[in-house]
Amino acid sequence: MRILITGANRGIGAALDRELTARCAEVIGTARNHPDYQPLDVTQPASVAALAERLDGAPLDALICNAGVYLDKGQALADGYPAQMWADEFAVNVTGVFLSVQALLPNLRQGSAPRIMIISSQMASHTRAPGGSYIYRASKAAALNLGRNLATDLKPMGIAVGIYHPGWVQTDMGGTAAEITPEMAARGLADRLEALGPGNTGCFETWDGQPHAY
């Protein structure tokens, strides 16, 4: 199984790289600037196109859209959340997902039982509204909506799409007080990837396989 992971150089992406490699997958990891990974800036169409060109039509069995940022953590409503921060965060968390799927769609169509995993968050759910983190919540909700609609359009092509909350994970983004390790999240997400198919395309689930409220 050949799997491409965006943002594979740290956190959940790096743990997924290790877990899927241990399960005998051929993993192509990407990062914006790291010598051990394929270069990819998901916010730059030219960078995404260059990655597709380097793959040269090689089949992909799975694409994991993991690259993400949380720039507005700790911002105050009174004077925070500048417009450029909205643009920068959406460029990675939403537009970057779309550009990656769009550019690599020909490769996925050549894969075996191809599937797309979009790493969203429970903060995407409109049923959870504790306030704050407006940009991150909005961007992850947009990624959820994007994934659901992609699932509809890609199902006739035989490509399944799943959207997942990876858990509250002990990463730079999640912090040291988070509930689970990257390795636990990666094991659960790898199981979800294996279970993803035409029958559950468009699902929004937690890392451990529980349906998540939209």
Mean pLDDT of all residues in 147-156: 98
- Hey, which residues does 62 pair with through a beta bridge? 3, 115
Question: CA 168, CA 84: separation in Å to the nearest integer?
Answer: 27
pLDDT grade for 213, boundaries at 50, 70 and 90: confident
Tell me the residue type at 35. Answer: P
All domains of the chain in start order, with CATH: 2-206 (3.40.50.720)
Annotated catalytic residue, options 37, 70, 136, 164: 136
Give residue-wise pLDDT tens across range 104-151.
Answer: 999 999 999 999 999 999 989 888 888 999 999 999 999 999 999 999
Q: What is the pLDDT of residue 177?
A: 73
Q: What is the pLDDT of residue 45?
A: 98
Q: What is the pLDDT of residue 178?
A: 66
Mean pLDDT of all residues in 14-41: 96
Q: Is 136 a catalytic residue?
A: yes
Q: Which two tokens stand for residue 39?
A: 């270069």
Question: CA 52, CA 28: separation in Å to the nearest integer?
Answer: 12
**CA nearest neighbour of 122 among 136, 108, 109:** 136
Asked if 5 and 26 count as a contact pair (C-beta separation under 8 A), the reply is no
With a cut of 90, say whether residue 20 has pLDDT above it.
yes
Q: What is the sign of the dihedral through the CA atoms of 118, 20, 71 and 104?
A: negative
Mean pLDDT of all residues in 36-51: 98
Q: What is the pLDDT of residue 127?
A: 85
What pTM does this model have? Answer: 0.95
Q: Which two tokens stand for residue 124?
A: 């995407």
Q: What is the pLDDT of residue 71?
A: 97
With a cut of 80, say whether residue 175 has pLDDT above it.
no
Mean pLDDT of all residues in 190-198: 98
**Neighbouring residues of 74: CB distance < 8 A, sequence distance ≥ 6:** none
**Widest CA span in the chain:** 50
